Amino acid sequence: MLMAGKNVLVVNDLNFESEVMNSDQPVLVDFTATWCGPCRQIAPFIDQLADEYAGRAKVVKLDIDESPSTAARFGIRGVPTLYVFKGGRIVAQQQGAAPKTILARLIDTGIGA
């Protein structure tokens, strides 16, 4: 089970389409796994960004082990992988752990796209 802050939504194969692809806001998707050390390292940044961008962008986590078809659909090979979706399209991406400032820039790209 993924741990997530109060403004972070946990998505899966069943609700990815409605929560991410059909969202009217940009969405930062953290493709993650419970066993992933670097994922745990950036988890506090993800939670902070969800709070800071509340109302302007959505922040969601998807466990690749619990939602293999969505992970396969986007060719996720390693975690953490972060994508920003806007209007159902990927507008920014980051593979591997990154500082909070880099992750914020991803969301800003989505807001400006």
Q: Which residues are catalytic?
A: 36, 39
The distance in angstroms from the start CA to the end CA of the chain is 32
Separation in Å, CA 107 to CA 13, 34, 37, 113: 22, 23, 23, 10
Torsion angle (degrees, nearest 10) of CA 47, 49, 54, 57: -120
